[in-house]
Structure 1
Amino acid sequence: MYTAVLIKGKTYSVMGHVFLLNQEKEIEKKVFQYLNGNEFFDCKQLDVPADDPKTDEPVKEEEEPAQEAKTYTETELKDMKKDGQEAVIVDLGGDPSEFKNEGERIAFILENQEQQEKTGE
């Protein structure tokens, strides 16, 4: 079994999971591998008894589409609350504390979405 705790920022959304600051969440191995080493998270692998049937379950393939990053429009971003914008910034690899206002957050998101589309990430 794997767990992750968001230790920086307010919210973080990844692979179908929404993390809130300081709330521990049970995650799959794939999510653990993605988040482990991320400075925004404290990830742990807990020892699971050998007879636990959960350890033998394969990762569900239907979870794959959650990895695709949504491309937000400026209007969608303006309609979002600050927490939502900060979650998108974290998903794009930014630090929400670096931005003073909504305009800076939106500009960062739009610019970085564009760069990721060009690089195919």
Structure 2
Amino acid sequence: MYTAVLIKGKTYAVMGHVFLVNQVKDVEKKVFQYLDGSEFFNCKEVKAPVDDIVKEEEEPAQEAKIYTETELKGMNKTEQEAIIIDLGGDPSQLKDKSERIAFILEHQQQQEKTGE
């Protein structure tokens, strides 16, 4: 088991994870390897008890969070931009809050249809 904590900046999105400053998140080995050594992150390998290792192997992969329009309206620009990056978009191409929300809702639907 691995953990990563964003120690510099406000938010960071990578490989399906959105990190907020000082928030500890459990991450997969490939995310740990990618972030380990970055000056923006504090990464650790946590030894899990044998029972937890068996449970991790049995659990299906987590599906991406589906955000509602109401949730998105309650988020700040940085949080919305992190979601856009996770969805493969470029936040700098979107002019305002309504365009960011429309992009997120549209791309979430596309991912549900394609099963990504």
Shorter-chain TM-score bucket reads 0.5 to 0.7
Aligned to 1:18: 19
2:13 alignment partner, SS class: strand
Structure 1 66/100 Cα, relative in aligned 2: closer, same or farther at 3 Å? farther
Q: Once the two structures are aligned, what percentage of the paired residues are identical?
A: 60
Q: Is the 8 A contact 2:17 2:86 kept in 1?
A: no
Please state if 1:88 is matched with 2:83.
yes
**Structure 2 equivalent of residue 117 of structure 1:** 112
Give 1:97 shift.
Answer: 1.3
The answer as to whether partners of 1:77 and 1:85 remain within 8 angstroms in 2 is yes
Aligned to 1:104, the other structure's residue is in SS state helix
Residue 29 of structure 1 and its aligned partner are, at CA, apart by 2.0
Q: What TM-score, normalized to structure 1?
A: 0.56
Structure 2 gap segments, 5+ residues each: 22-26, 38-45
Cα separation, partners in 2 of 1:95 and 1:65, compared to 1, 3 Å: farther
What is the DSSP-based 3-state SS (H/G/I as helix, E as strand, rest coil) of the residue aligned with 1:12?
Answer: strand
Deviation at 1:101, TM superposition (A): 0.5
Unaligned runs of 5+ in 1: 21-26, 37-42, 46-52
Decide whether aligned partners of structure 1 residues 14 and 75 sit closer, same or farther in structure 2, where only a CA change above 3 A counts. Answer: same
Per-residue Cα deviation, 1:50-103 (whole angstroms, up to 9, x for no partner): xxx96xx969718x6774211111111001111111111011111111111001
Give the length in aligned residue pairs: 102
Q: Which amino acid aligns with 2:13?
A: Y
RMSD: 4.2
* Alpha-carbon offset, residue 28 of structure 1: 4.7
SS of 1:85's equivalent? helix
Mapped partners of 1:108, 1:31: distance in 2: 25
CA distance in 2, matches of 1:113, 1:66: 17
Q: Is the counterpart of residue 29 in structure 1 residue 29 in structure 2?
A: yes
Match of 1:39 in 2: none
